[in-house]
Amino acid sequence: MKEYVRLSLETHLFFGRIMKEHSFFLLAGFPAKETEFIRRADQFREEFEDGLRKTVRLADGIVGECVLRSGEVVTEFTQKAECQTKNLTGIPIDVKITEAEERLHAGSCVMVNREMVHHVKMLNRQMLRSLNGLIALKEEILTDMTRCRLYTTNYPLLIEHILREAKMYRQILSELENRGRIFAPDLKNLEIFWNQIMMEHAQFIRGLLDPTECELIETADEFAEDYCRLLKEAREQDARATNALTAKILRTTRQYQRFKTAGTEGITGCEIRSIILPLLADHVLREANHYLRILEHVQKGGN
C-alpha cells in the first residue's frame, strides 16, 4: 500500500491546494449581495485548507523528491503571494501551511503501516466529499451565470476551466480508492487536457492584464495560439508522431513556464499593471510546473 499512500499524498499536495484556491477565487469574485454563494465558497475554502493541512502532516518523509522539486507544491513566490492576496482581499489564508510545505522532506523514512493507510484513506474520503460539493457549486454558478442570474468577476470560461480540473482530481482519487493506484490516461488524452488548460491560462492572463501592457498581452496571445495549435495536433496525432509532438509541447511549456515565472515575479513585485491577484499568478505557475514534470517524466521514458 506504499504506492497508494504516496500517490494519494502527492495528489493532494498539488490538487488539494488548487481546489482551496479555486474556492478562494470564487469567493473573491462575488458581489456582496450574493451572501449564500459567498458562504458556500468560504466553506469549501476552509474544508480544502483543512484537508491540505492534514496532507502536509502525513506527507513528510513519504512523497517523491521530483514532486517537491518541481515547483508544483509551492514556488519561491507562494508565501509572498498569499500574504499580499490576504491583505488585498481580507479573506484569510493559513500561510503556515505553505511554511510547512517548504520544510517537507522526500523519501521513504516513514514506515507505511496500517495506521498510516487508514489516515490516508480517511483523508481521501474527506477530500472526495468536499470535491463533490465544490463541483456541484461550480456547476450551479456556471448555470446561473450563463442564464444571466448571477454576476461575478470570474469569466464563464474560467468556471468551466476549474470544473475540468476538479473532475480530473476526482477521477484520480476515485481510481486510488477503487483500485489502490492511478491508471494514467494515455499520453494523447493527457496532452489534450493540459494543453487546453495552458491555452486557457494564456487567454485569462491576456484578459486580466491592463490594456497598456501591450507587450505582455501580445506574448500571452502568442502562447494561446501556440497551445491552440498543439491542442489540435494532440487530437489528430497517431502513435507514430507521439514522441515528436511531446518534445514540441515540452519546449513550448518550458518557455511558457519562464513567462509565468517572470509574470508572477512582476505581479508580486507590483511591476505589472493588471487585475490579477498575486495568488492567481502563482497558481497558474504551479500548474505549468506540474505539467512540465509530467512531460519530462514521459521524455525520460517513464510511464
**What pLDDT, on a 0 to 100 scale, did the predictor assign at position 77?**
98
Number of structural domains (the chain) is: 2
Judgement on whether residues 117 and 216 belong to the same structural domain of the protein:
no
Judgement on whether residues 173 and 284 belong to the same structural domain of the protein:
no
Judgement on whether residues 57 and 24 belong to the same structural domain of the protein:
yes
Residue 33: partners with Cβ closer than 8 Å, 6 or more residues away:
none
Judgement on whether residues 124 and 247 belong to the same structural domain of the protein:
no
Domain boundary residue among 168, 183, 198? 183
Judgement on whether residues 122 and 210 belong to the same structural domain of the protein:
no
The string of DSSP letters for the chain reads -HHHHHHHHHHIIIIIHHHHHHHHHHHHHS-TT-HHHHHHHHHHHHHHHHHHHHHHHHHTTTS-HHHHHHTSS--TTHHHHHHHHHHHH-----HHHHHHHHT---SS-S---HHHHHHHHHHHHHHHHHHHHHHHHHHHHHHHHHTTS---SS-HHHHHHHHHHHHHHHHHHHHHHHHSS--PPPHHHHHHHHHHHHHHHHHHHHHHB-TT-HHHHHHHHHHHHHHHHHHHHHHH--GGGHHHHHHHHHHHHHHHHHHHHHHHHHHHTT-S-BS--HHHHHHHHHHHHHHHHHHHHHHTT--
Judgement on whether residues 273 and 137 belong to the same structural domain of the protein:
no
Judgement on whether residues 38 and 115 belong to the same structural domain of the protein:
yes
Q: pLDDT digits over 90-114, tens only?
A: 999 999 999 999 999 998 766 788 9
Judgement on whether residues 25 and 168 belong to the same structural domain of the protein:
yes
* Separation of alpha carbons 80 and 99, rounded Å: 11
Judgement on whether residues 138 and 260 belong to the same structural domain of the protein:
no
Q: pLDDT digits over 10-54, tens only?
A: 999 999 999 999 999 999 999 999 999 999 999 999 999 999 999
For 237, list phi and psi in degrees, rounded to 5: -65, 155
CATH code, domain carrying 256: 1.20.1260.120
State mean pLDDT over 55-72.
96
In a domain, residue 233? The reply is yes
Percent of the chain with pLDDT over 70: 94
In a domain, residue 97? The reply is no
Judgement on whether residues 224 and 299 belong to the same structural domain of the protein:
yes
Judgement on whether residues 176 and 200 belong to the same structural domain of the protein:
no
Say whether pLDDT at 173 is over 60.
Answer: yes
Judgement on whether residues 151 and 20 belong to the same structural domain of the protein:
yes
**What pLDDT, on a 0 to 100 scale, did the predictor assign at position 183?**
61
CA atoms in the 13 A half-sphere facing the CB of 226: 19
Say whether pLDDT at 122 is over 80.
Answer: yes
State mean pLDDT over 149-177.
96
Average pLDDT of the residues of the chain: 94
- Which residue type is seen at 74? V
**What pLDDT, on a 0 to 100 scale, did the predictor assign at position 164?**
97
Domain boundary residue among 150, 183, 216? 183
* Separation of alpha carbons 99 and 113, rounded Å: 27
State mean pLDDT over 176-202.
85
Contact between residue 200 and residue 261 where contact means Cβ atoms under 8 Å apart: no
Domain that holds residue 166: 1-63+104-183
